[in-house]
Amino acid sequence: MLAAILLGGGPVAAGANLPAGARLAQPAERMAVGQAIRGAALKLASAECEGLLDEFADAQGRPLRAALGAHGMDAGAFLGQVFFYDAPPRACEGLTLAGSHLVGSRVIRVCGRRFARAWAESSSHAEAVIIHEMLHALGLGENPPSSAYITERVIARCER
């Protein structure tokens, strides 16, 4: 399956009705990110998963739910306004799948080939990465909490 995804095949043909936020250059990588965005949006529709917005706060100490409220939309709609682009190769050194340089930015850089492999191995983990990055787009900083802790909480709340 991984070979099919990396070559542009897989469960959904590359480019077929993918979320607009998936803007990577390579079709197979764009497809993996698009599928992960879809899965993340479905998870965010559950009250338990959306509870992350009460668990985490922005730099001013207000819950992310309040930050989301300021945008006048629910978590799934906000995720639809987060954009995922190719990361520069240098940013993909190490274990990173995705990230942003600025807390609160709706632009997320993705290590496409690595993300596509991760999605093929565990779509659920890839969806958790998408939700993790959406939390940063809403204003969640890092260190503290650690990146690993954020992802652990996403998995704990959104995998039920």
pLDDT at 46: 97
Express each pLDDT in 73-99 by its tens digit. 999 999 999 999 999 999 998 778 999
**Cα 94 to Cα 64: distance, rounded to the nearest angstrom:** 29
Q: What is the pLDDT of residue 16?
A: 60
User: Structural domain boundaries of the chain?
Assistant: 2-7+21-158
Backbone angles phi, psi at 26, to 5 degrees: -80, 130
Exposure of 153 in the CB half-sphere (CA atoms within 13 A): 17
Residue 3 confidence (pLDDT) above 50: no
Q: How confident is the model at residue 8 (pLDDT cuts 50, 70, 90)?
A: very low
Quick check: 17 pLDDT over 90? no
CB 28 within 8 A of CB 13: no
Q: What's residue 101's pLDDT?
A: 81
pLDDT digit string (tens) for 54-77? 999 999 999 999 999 999 999 999
